[in-house]
Amino acid sequence: MSTYLAEIAWRRRSGERFVDSRYSRVHEWKFDGGVSVAASSAVSSVPLPYSDPRNVDPEEALVAAISSCHMLTFLYRAAKSGFVVDAYDDRAVGTMTTDTRGRQSITSVTLAPDIQFSGSIEPNEEAVARLHHEAHEECYIANSVRSEILVAGTWRYASA
């Protein structure tokens, strides 16, 4: 068993009544490695000036966690298969809609990785598709969410 720690800190600002819902949603995430992240509600959920669009919101963090987990698992599977990955860049997009329960939810996340391979073994479409499938099946975060996760990426091989 593994455990993961995140500390979340929010304070009401001077002059905010709170009960009128006119209070800042800006807060901080602290992680056990010492990293602090400025966080806020999404402006689409809570309008300015009560949200800060410069900060990470929970919805973005969920999309990033799904993308990061898929990437890390893809890299692991690629290395185990003998493929050399030189670069992996993703532009992941989460879509919030009403789910089957009638609740607002991140119902889908589309990953769009651009992967650069090199090395002595050149992958083909089938191998890359297999790596994505294995990454999806083994990703802890994908196994933890109900969102549909799609992969619509590109890849290329540069011979050594």
CA atoms of 54 and 56, how far apart (whole Å): 7
Alpha carbon 139 to chain centroid distance? 12
| Confidence bin at 109 (pLDDT 50/70/90) | very high
Domain segments of the chain: what residues? Answer: 1-56, 58-157
Residue 25 has pLDDT above 90, yes or no: yes
Q: What is the pLDDT of residues 50-108, one digit of tens each?
A: 999 999 999 999 999 999 999 999 999 999 999 999 999 999 999 999 999 999 999 99
Which pLDDT does position 159 carry in this prediction?
74
Give the domain 1-56 fold: GMP Synthetase; Chain A, domain 3 (3.30.300)
CATH number of 58-157: 3.30.300.20
CA atoms of 40 and 53, how far apart (whole Å): 8
Residue 144 has pLDDT above 90, yes or no: yes
- CB 9, CB 37: distance < 8 Å: no
Which pLDDT does position 160 carry in this prediction?
60
Within 10 angstroms of residue 147's Cβ, the number of other Cβ atoms is 20
Residue 121 has pLDDT above 70, yes or no: yes
